[in-house]
A and B are shown apart, each in its own frame.
Chain A
Amino acid sequence: MRIKFILNNKEIQITSDPSKTLLEVLRTDLGLTGTKYGCGVGECGTCTVIVDGRAVSSCLTLIGSVEGKRVETIEGLSDGESLHPVQESFIKNGAVQCGYCTPGMVMSAKALLDRNRNPTEEEIKEAIAGNLCRCTGYNQIIKAIKETEY
């Protein structure tokens, strides 16, 4: 089937087997491997992308369902030269250890900050409750989101 959607601010049209998730299409067909595969069942958050302004698990999103929607992935955050403020803050605060959860964390943080520029610590924790970091570096991540200059 043919699917048209906006990916990182560019309208694209693809032909895909409908029995694919958005995650598979991003990683395998489009080569955007920034978004990670973790659990495959919506529990770990590392495949988080933003669809129409909301953080969703791309491993639970069928490709057909993004028809006409606006999809943002980690690749769309930086403009090539300069990083997104959330990314800057993650680096500044050492909020990255092994890095596997990081794209999802950053996307969840962006989805939060896009709606709420000055979130409380509780709101930050709630926003990343669905993003697991097994290096357990949560304190730095929370600090990074809090200190993002947005």
Chain B
Amino acid sequence: MYLLPTFKYLAPSSLEGFLKLLDKGGKDFKLLAGGTDLIINLKKEEIHPEYVIDITKIPDLKILRDAGDKIIIGSTVTYSDLLESPLVSKEAPFLIEAAFTVGAVQIRNSGTLGGNIANASPAADMIPPLIALGAKVRIINPEQEREIPLEELFLGPYKTKLSPVDLITEISFAKIPPRTGTCFLKVGRRNALAISRLSVAVTLTLNNQGKIQAASLVPGAVTPVPKRIRKAEDLLCGNTPGKDLFEQAAKIVSEEVVAITGIRYSTVYKEPVLFNLVKRSLLLAAERCK
């Protein structure tokens, strides 16, 4: 039976309170944003912090709002909060598709967007669509506040540029322009509670002539660090959406991923699956542009 190791628990009720806790300095702590990864890591004794700082009692981190040309989402907004948001559903529909594939209800009710990002699992479901949206993360620590593109946050599997005293407060992204279609598709080992084996997030924006004006394409769970495949995006831009074009783009994505990861035992499986997933997601996104 898994039991938790001993730690001290702190639950600041404001950002100021949180920063003051850190200011006292020298504390060995971990942030609790939802617990669906942290509690497991604690139980498995992979980490032994002296303090667990619960950030879910900070109201500023729970916002989800329309800021004119962009959407701002607080870091402790849960997957269920996202799924129930008409704003997200309208302005970034593939975030809903991604959130729906996470765990089961119990996990979606506890797990948070900021937790998914900070944990930095290569299989994190929310990261590919957020990178495809060009999302930025706002980070504070006792010294400064800064904003960086999400795509630049990751250093490797479970590794980020976040320092121990950094806290992600918000994730923001521009609303999708008119005539934009988005799509997130995922392949897991099973239907329910599946951890991504492969996923892909795409956005396509058409111009008045029906040609692709902008595209973003981010495969998930296949590279150590999630990133846009710009070579494939460049191929799409300026062209008319169609099966042949999408197959060419899908081929580039597969090749680029293999170039990053090298040939592995799973490549014979992953390469064709990724090809088809990219093709299918582009076809769906193109349909949704109308």
Contacts and interface: CB of A to CB of B under 8 A. Distances in A.
Interface in A56-88: 56-57, 59-62, 64-65, 67
Contact of A62 (B3, B54, B109): B54
A22 to B, nearest CB: 11
Interface stretch (A6-14, A38-46, A141-149): A38-46
A102 B57 CA distance: 31
Given A42-B40, A62-B9, A62-B39, A21 B110 contact: no
15 contacts: A19-B5, A40-B43, A41-B40, A41-B43, A55-B109, A57-B107, A59-B2, A59-B39, A60-B36, A60-B39, A64-B9, A64-B11, A65-B11, A67-B11, A129-B191
Given A65-B32, A129-B104, A19 B7 contact: yes
Interface in B175-201: 191-193
Contacts of A41: 2, 40, 43
A65 to B, nearest CB: 6
Contacts of A37: 1
B1 A40 contact: yes
A138 B2 CA distance: 27
Interface string A45-59: 100100000111101
Query: By DSSP majority rule, is chain B's interface helix, strand, loop, or mixed?
Result: loop
A20 interface: yes
Interface of B: 1-9, 11, 32, 35-36, 39-40, 43, 52, 54, 56-57, 80, 103-107, 109-110, 191-193
Nearest to A3: B9
Most chain B C-beta atoms within 10 Å of own C-beta, residue among A18, A21, A108:
A18
Nearest to A54: B109
A75 B73 CA distance: 36
Contact of B192 (A20, A40, A54, A129): A129
The range of chain A's interface size is: 20 to 34
B4 A19 contact: yes
Contacts of B7: 18-19
A93 B258 CA distance: 52
B40 A54 contact: no
Contacts of A43: 193
B62 to A, nearest CB: 13
A98 interface: no
A65 B107 contact: no
B12 to A, nearest CB: 12
A59 B40 CA distance: 9
Contact of A55 (B8, B52, B54, B106): B106
Given A57-B106, A65-B57, 14 more contacts: A17-B6, A19-B7, A42-B39, A42-B107, A54-B105, A55-B106, A56-B106, A56-B109, A62-B52, A64-B11, A126-B105, A129-B104, A130-B106, A130-B193
B4 A21 contact: yes
Given A40-B1, A41-B2, A54 B80 contact: yes
Contact of A42 (B9, B52, B106, B192): B106
A45 B2 contact: no
Contacts of B32: 62, 65
A30 interface: no
Most chain A C-beta atoms within 10 Å of own C-beta, residue among B3, B8, B105:
B105
Contacts of B1: 37, 40
A127 B6 CA distance: 33
